[in-house]
Chains A and B, each alone.
Chain A
Amino acid sequence: MNHLSEEQLVLYYYGEDGSPDVAGHLAACEACRAQYAGLQRVLNVVDMAPVPERNANYGAQVWSRLQPRLGSRGRGWTGVLWWPARHWAAAAAVAVLMVTAFLAGRYYPHAQPVQQAANTGQVRERILLIAVGEHLERSQMVLVELMNAAPGHALDVSSERDRAADLVAENRLYRQTAARAGDVRVANMLDQLEPVLLEIARGPDRLTSGQLERLRQRIESGGIMFKVRVVGSAVRDREQKITVNQNSSSS
């Protein structure tokens, strides 16, 4: 029997090689299992190197030191220097309008009668395509991390849970807008993604190996990762086409 190489074990540890071959071999080969256990022990110990904690205000402290060093840049840098918290709600509303405008523009192109409006619409559509693409990319990262976690162990998912909670709100917005605009493909995919994100967001900080396995089976059975990847790729393609169009029309 050919044993697993150190490279294969390292890739497997980091979830970069989740092939059944490696998992199957580890299950059957005691020597490789011992090698892998040794690697796990060392890499788990590496996590013990501490990092000094920074408090929740650290970002604000960084900004206060940074802000005087930032020169004037383009228009408007003095206009919205300090946004009060209530403006974030307005920003969210603006985001909703932008998404609606983006999809409306996509499905009803005749709504933009002049070239200038068309260009503005394209810029807005491009920004929003990037936003949808990023949403799918971030969702995919959360799912990949859960799928690639070492099997048979409890897992701290507090970070994934926080990220999923953020993604749920975005997902709902995009799903509703896509459904209203008749984009069945995107709406369906987001509809399937949402309960999974919700389950992660509402779950505990730490999953037992059984809970993790059930979550994985759910993700796998729905083929959600594949769908997210395919639709994400299509969204990126559209965004790049718009970029090319903009570049060619401006040159």
Chain B
Amino acid sequence: MELSDTVAVAQAQAGDSGAFRVLVERHSRNLFRLAFRMTGQQEDAEDVVQETFLRAYKQLAKFDGRASFGTWLYRIAANCSLDLIRARKRRNEQQEAAPEDARDETQSLPDAAPAPDRLALSSEVGRQVAAVLDGLSEMERTAFVLRHYEGMCIDEIGRALGVQPNAAKHSIFRAVQKLRRALEPLVSSAV
């Protein structure tokens, strides 16, 4: 029988790095999936996974077991993703504000030509979905990703994001509305 998360966490809290390794190996793929849904970039998602486990390691003593370990990790990963998205936005704004001749031509290319990750979204639908997700607010995107892709219930999402369930619910509604507006014509034409 595999070591359960609870036992592994208790052992890791007592100083057993082998137990922490078990947790890392068990949750890495799920965290990568979440991070990619959140950031839309493979490299960013990899960074989020590393940063999430580093933060979890440092805060392990504070984990009290009220939520499952997976939910707790998801909360950290969602926050890491949001931090990264905010930093990326700030960088983009600074680049846009810079004088024309000071800009690195290659840095402005991603808007015109898709990055390698985006090229992976080969279908039109995939591109459209990614574009709409990119246009959602941080809260909308996070709540929607956790509900739709990760299957977390609204109460759990509220706990993971530190907001009331109603706030999480309305973020999901807004995200779904925006997705419908953008995708319905495409879906209808395909039917």
Contact = CB atoms under 8 A, between A and B. Distances in A.
Please indicate which of the listed interface residues B54, B154, B176 has the most CB atoms of chain A within 10 Å of its own CB.
B176
B14 A52 contact: no
A76 B129 contact: no
Contacts, number: 161
Nearest to A63: B24
A55 to B, nearest CB: 9
A156 interface: no
Contact of B172 (A10, A46, A59, A65): A10
Q: With a 10 A CB-CB cut-off, give which of B1, B24, B130 has the most chain A CB atoms.
A: B1
B15 A73 contact: yes
B24 A66 contact: yes
Most buried by A among B5, B19, B153: B153
- Interface residue range, chain A: 35 or more
A52 B36 contact: yes
Contacts of A88: 2-3
Nearest to B69: A134
B25 A60 contact: yes
Contacts of B68: 134, 137-138
Contacts of B4: 95, 131, 134-135, 170
Contacts of A83: 18, 21
Interface string B154-191: 10000000000000010011001101100110110001
B139 to A, nearest CB: 16
A28 interface: no
